[in-house]
Structure 1
């Protein structure tokens, strides 16, 4: 909160009185004369040569309290000596603490029935309570004592309000008088904070952004010997059509410009045409692929031989005992050779044979495996595991997913397959440089109204806004250049420790940031250590917002300059009693941040022989195995491998790993897809009770 700065050539005198805006949030009204004076709109403290402008916030009006405390120089918290602060008061204090409080003066309502001993104990208890939310508080003023009443006024009149970081370089006006005339909303008040420009937009909470028509002076009546005189208002500023901000907040997508074309069959078979095999991989040039000699028992067919684990695969390139070469480059295809009778028995012991089960037995074993109990630790270590559906092919169910060799380093094109909403947002080439330029131009702009001047601002707003004039506080906030444009916003947030309900990604919440309140469906992702982007700016999607972990919430919203605090609220049946879900700070407007949702398909090692194993229950048909064959496998015990070939008709496949695996291990395949938030809307205070569908919220 700031004092109204004086002109440099002015000297303090009894005729020039500073004006301080003080917001009062009272827990219990008192009959003391001081508190009665504080509840009046304006109070003249003649002893301290200061006029105090009070804004009274009744207990139970959440959003009026938030708006008033954003614009106040001081916040007076009036606590009761007999009634404890309820849950609503606790949520309000936590929310005010998160959004940024100016200097706070805490008073205890007068209660003549208390004796001196009880009064001292209650003061200590209230001080301990308020220091949890405002650590800078060192005393509580008892309005029953005359000395404390005087000291409370002295603290408000002679103190210098501290700075609130997010308000630096911004201006705002508390509406003393609000009227509507000839298509314009007239707001009269004192310019506070920084200089007010007619070229910039102003934000009215719960209604949106509007343009300024003009700014005229609004001097106070003067006392003279002949009576009360009135100085005529004069024009102070008008918008410049060449530099005034427009109300355009989003781009108009050009569907034809974003249309994607595919190459024709003739273009694909042009020069350098590549032939692909059945597995989707480029076929090798004829004569360059060596022939592999597979040693099988005599009389075994090629289909039966596919289930045999090759000794060459198990040994990983080591020399065999008999000294024979594993690969013989003679023909392109695989050659089947018979073994002598004396070798069949020894090879059978090294082989893993397979018997294809019937459908009923396969389903019985699968359900027995799927219903196995999983410990809590496994669920925390692998929270993204899902079961592959049996009725839908995996390549259809997971067609939007892709495999990544390394989540942290593998490249991901940030402009690939973007949704339509991305065509509507604005992107910064260099956000930090743009912010510096915006603030520099705001300081150097001519024709602005200095802070401390009483003005009437003509705003091009509908008459509907007039209904806000009867509220406890009517505040308009000036925006910086470009702060009306929509982009992709990222916030670092942490859950409220007192809120225990489940918070999922894309749950509807109310985002309070700066002067705005937006209805959003944020998407949560991991926060990279140090706040950087990492090697590829890919960040893991989080299904839930958990306690004790710093996450990044991504939403669509108007551009923000500066490290502004944010608050996430969840609406309840009472519009003025939301739940505080999370608090945090604005991070950046990064449209290239890739939020990748991970799913893990798990399979069971059915047969194991050293580094090779037969895996089941990850897929249920051979087509899916061929489709996902290029993607790397991993196990819960740290082994990595890949699919060699499909086996049978029930989705079994042979896999080879970088080391011996255990049959009690679990084979996993990680798949990723990019996720996006939903388009945000301006939050408007409901008129009456709000009904929240808990079932829909869970969905």
Structure 2
């Protein structure tokens, strides 16, 4: 008798297909498809399945062959471009030494002697390698070295076996590492110090140590060539490393898709005979490098600004004349390209406001009799002329400059008595128009938070005054680390007047804030890529993607749109000051010739630029917002006063409000206090190493993919007199403050400056506390009563009522409050950057 089973047999058990969820996102699918050829779907047909599969396989093979042939052709064209011939480009090699005991000219001469050639005007023709080399010697100038790298194909780095690299050499290496360098060839050159160094085993150990030092900054460097030995094998190999490889255009990413040139000869044609300050046409003769040179695009002359192209003329080749046609080099130049009026880029960098916007500003026009009295110097009340000031009673000229600024840096600030102080000055932030507050009293009252500016006499003070004030500046930074954003309420000025421009936010991340509210006049002059609610700069990214596709399409289809690279031309620029020509014509010729770069569309327009930057770990000085710095980004060098704010990578706040940072700090949590506040901010300072630096400036694109690198430099100051040691930094070498990349040009990014008012709960009863020292009159308590309170121990509350006339108030919290706690109120206002000098 068969037994009965309640469960079915195992043969009838259903087995479902497992769900394969390996590639569930677009990013994972894109990563999995890297390196594969795109698969084309065939049109529906009535052919058998086998024939369709064969056709798909054939299509994939044909596409792979076409891509391979295209890459080979690109490589051949690049090699032919630098080959010796009538249109061959010379390889630009920048020669730098990290120590002063190396003779750069002697090292290059030894490389030429290996192949039996001579260097004429810095150029070396090597028939053995079928190419030519042009050497650039920026000497020991820091800025000249950085100016020569963007136009160079190779970097010849000379190291000394006897003298270590000093602080200036390490700063140069760190700066080049941040900005990007071309192909690097390292050489251990013989020293001219005349020491007792003996080659041998010790030299191998030193070479190994130098290679380790260099690979920290240039990881792609695999070996160093020793030129101090008697053998010429390493010298020949070093020259081969400069001649045989094809120069890579992707080492400096922002240079991809741009045409650039190095001037061989210059000539200036004035519009009419006049003084040196007038403008005219500057003719620059040189070889077109990089991409095709479009006459419709603006060009940037390094260190001198942007200009329009008048025309591009042909220039005779520097190679030997053609025996069959001797007049080929003596013919008149022809016009190769001219700008099209409808397509040429204009020099408009600011957005001119309309007449309606100008008339919308309210103002009272004076009457004719008032204007007449003003012209005659008559006083409207007294009816008499204003007497001249007696001799000797003219007040001294006072200039407001950032505290700790050197006398050299103070000269950058424009001395204008009619302009308002910058937004960083806390002492005048709350003064509304029409308030009857004496300016002299405001200058006397010292606000603990108003240490961004100070009054100095520009005529008689010495620089050691700033050296003595440096300790006070460091103390202010230490106070900020221990008590971030905390400020004492002034006794003389009402808090509602002092903080009239501030507002309270329940949460700095979620509370709404209109980005177009109360914008300054500067925002009416700049251009914007933002749309309302565009926090991730989508419009900007779309513009950059379209530019990148246009460049790639031009490479694939061979569309030039200008003068091809490798052509020797004469570029005529219009409306160029004569001072540019006179600078390079002077007897003391600069170490680096003039160089120019073509600009992409819209790169001359001014907007709000945001950079993600990180502090240099080797620099221990304090860096405050709006301190004068030098910004190197792309082909430009700008003098800027950036403001810093928090950077939330991958998790931006929904309201696009970011906290203003008074200092650019290191990646350290020393002195950090507390945790997450009730207002959505974090009291911990120094917990991140990446900040957002914001300035006004011309926009920059990257057509080669990736981001445009940038560095922030600070002019080196005088050494402290109390330090008896020798200065290791030359006066011309700046300090590397921070490095990073260009993020986006966003005008809707709100940078909110926070001020925390603190009070003491001197009477506590469960959840209710009596708070003092936050305000000093009853009107201020009533004015700020809608704003939420919080404590450093995590309690939140609000003001219930005012007590008396001295600013005491009763507050209620969501939990018991201790007398050891501190009651805080956070106030915010939007701040804006300062105009850069360019």
TM over 0.5: yes
Matched, 1:408 2:530: no
Matched, 1:455 2:587: no
Aligned mate of 2:701, from 540, 547, 561: 561
Aligned counterpart, 1:465: 580
Aligned counterpart, 2:291: 194
C-alpha contact (below 8 Å) 1:408/1:538 kept by paired residues: yes
Superposition deviation, residue 166 in structure 1: 1.7
Alignment of 1:619-638 (within 5 A): 619-638=775-794
Deviates more, 1:668-677 or 1:87-96: 87-96
CA 1:10–1:76 in 2, change beyond 3 Å: closer, same or farther?
closer
CA 1:259–1:227 in 2, change beyond 3 Å: closer, same or farther?
closer
Aligned counterpart, 1:342: none
Name the CA distance, whole Å, in 2 between partners of 1:491 and 1:580: 16
Alignment of 1:383-462 (within 5 A): 383-429=484-530, 430-440=539-549, 447-460=561-574, 461-462=576-577
Tell me the SS of whatever aligns to 1:187: strand
C-alpha contact (below 8 Å) 1:4/1:451 kept by paired residues: no
Name the CA distance, whole Å, in 1 between partners of 2:346 and 2:215: 45
CA 1:458–1:440 in 2, change beyond 3 Å: closer, same or farther?
farther
Aligned mate of 1:604, from 745, 748, 760: 760
Gaps of 5+ in 1: 263-373, 683-699
Aligned counterpart, 2:648: 528
Aligned counterpart, 1:651: 807
CA-to-aligned-CA distance 1:404-440 (integer Å, 9 cap, x gap): 0111101111111111111111001421222233445
Aligned mate of 2:202, from 103, 111, 118: 118
Deviates more, 1:466-475 or 1:589-598: 466-475
Aligned mate of 1:257, from 341, 353, 357: 357
Name the CA distance, whole Å, in 2 between partners of 1:190 and 1:12: 12
TM-score of the superposed pair, with normalisation by structure 2: 0.64
Name the CA distance, whole Å, in 1 between partners of 2:773 and 2:481: 22
Tell me the SS of whatever aligns to 1:155: helix
TM-score of the superposed pair, with normalisation by structure 1: 0.76
CA 1:209–1:13 in 2, change beyond 3 Å: closer, same or farther?
closer
Superposition deviation, residue 7 in structure 1: 5.3
CA-to-aligned-CA distance 1:457-499 (integer Å, 9 cap, x gap): 1111122111443322221011101000000000000011111
Aligned counterpart, 2:663: 544
C-alpha contact (below 8 Å) 1:4/1:452 kept by paired residues: no
CA 1:15–1:594 in 2, change beyond 3 Å: closer, same or farther?
closer
CA 1:536–1:93 in 2, change beyond 3 Å: closer, same or farther?
same
Superposition deviation, residue 561 in structure 1: 1.2
Aligned counterpart, 2:263: 175
Matched, 1:223 2:321: yes
Name the CA distance, whole Å, in 1 between partners of 2:268 and 2:121: 25
Superposition deviation, residue 227 in structure 1: 8.9
CA 1:456–1:377 in 2, change beyond 3 Å: closer, same or farther?
closer
Aligned counterpart, 2:91: 20
C-alpha contact (below 8 Å) 1:518/1:680 kept by paired residues: yes
Tell me the SS of whatever aligns to 1:53: strand
Aligned counterpart, 1:366: none
Name the CA distance, whole Å, in 2 between partners of 1:638 and 1:589: 37
Superposition deviation, residue 73 in structure 1: 0.7
Name the CA distance, whole Å, in 2 between partners of 1:256 and 1:462: 35
Aligned counterpart, 1:58: 139
Matched, 1:664 2:820: yes
Aligned mate of 1:34, from 110, 121, 128: 110
Aligned counterpart, 2:774: 618
CA 1:89–1:612 in 2, change beyond 3 Å: closer, same or farther?
same
Matched, 1:482 2:614: no
Name the CA distance, whole Å, in 1 between partners of 2:743 and 2:307: 26
Tell me the SS of whatever aligns to 2:103: coil
Aligned mate of 1:147, from 233, 256, 259: 233
CA 1:545–1:38 in 2, change beyond 3 Å: closer, same or farther?
farther
CA-to-aligned-CA distance 1:178-234 (integer Å, 9 cap, x gap): 222342111111111111100111111221000001111223143344796543332
Name the CA distance, whole Å, in 2 between partners of 1:8 and 1:551: 40
C-alpha contact (below 8 Å) 2:345/2:601 kept by paired residues: yes
Tell me the SS of whatever aligns to 1:644: strand
CA-to-aligned-CA distance 1:286-320 (integer Å, 9 cap, x gap): xxxxxxxxxxxxxxxxxxxxxxxxxxxxxxxxxxx
C-alpha contact (below 8 Å) 2:79/2:246 kept by paired residues: no
CA 1:551–1:437 in 2, change beyond 3 Å: closer, same or farther?
same
Superposition deviation, residue 83 in structure 1: 2.2
Tell me the SS of whatever aligns to 1:57: coil
Aligned counterpart, 2:346: 246
Name the CA distance, whole Å, in 2 between partners of 1:222 and 1:6: 24
Tell me the SS of whatever aligns to 2:357: coil
Name the CA distance, whole Å, in 1 between partners of 2:756 and 2:359: 33
Name the CA distance, whole Å, in 1 between partners of 2:120 and 2:210: 22
CA 1:501–1:8 in 2, change beyond 3 Å: closer, same or farther?
closer
Name the CA distance, whole Å, in 2 between partners of 1:63 and 1:378: 36
Tell me the SS of whatever aligns to 2:95: strand
Tell me the SS of whatever aligns to 2:543: helix
Q: CA RMSD in A?
A: 2.7
Name the CA distance, whole Å, in 1 between partners of 2:361 and 2:323: 83
C-alpha contact (below 8 Å) 1:608/1:662 kept by paired residues: yes
Name the CA distance, whole Å, in 2 between partners of 1:623 and 1:260: 35
Aligned counterpart, 1:330: none
Tell me the SS of whatever aligns to 1:499: coil
CA 1:439–1:481 in 2, change beyond 3 Å: closer, same or farther?
farther
Aligned counterpart, 1:43: 124
Name the CA distance, whole Å, in 1 between partners of 2:480 and 2:81: 70
Name the CA distance, whole Å, in 2 between partners of 1:118 and 1:230: 58
Aligned counterpart, 2:242: 156
C-alpha contact (below 8 Å) 1:18/1:49 kept by paired residues: no
Gaps of 5+ in 2: 1-72, 113-117, 271-279, 363-474, 531-538, 668-688, 718-729
Aligned counterpart, 1:570: 714
CA-to-aligned-CA distance 1:631-662 (integer Å, 9 cap, x gap): 00000110000001100111000111111111
CA-to-aligned-CA distance 1:165-184 (integer Å, 9 cap, x gap): 22111111111222223421
CA 1:223–1:254 in 2, change beyond 3 Å: closer, same or farther?
closer
Name the CA distance, whole Å, in 1 between partners of 2:238 and 2:148: 20
Superposition deviation, residue 254 in structure 1: 5.1
Aligned counterpart, 1:505: 625
CA 1:255–1:648 in 2, change beyond 3 Å: closer, same or farther?
farther
Name the CA distance, whole Å, in 2 between partners of 1:13 and 1:607: 86
Matched, 1:82 2:191: no
C-alpha contact (below 8 Å) 1:5/1:451 kept by paired residues: no
C-alpha contact (below 8 Å) 1:39/1:55 kept by paired residues: no
Superposition deviation, residue 160 in structure 1: 2.4
Name the CA distance, whole Å, in 2 between partners of 1:415 and 1:169: 35
Tell me the SS of whatever aligns to 2:579: helix
CA 1:676–1:9 in 2, change beyond 3 Å: closer, same or farther?
closer
Aligned counterpart, 1:691: none
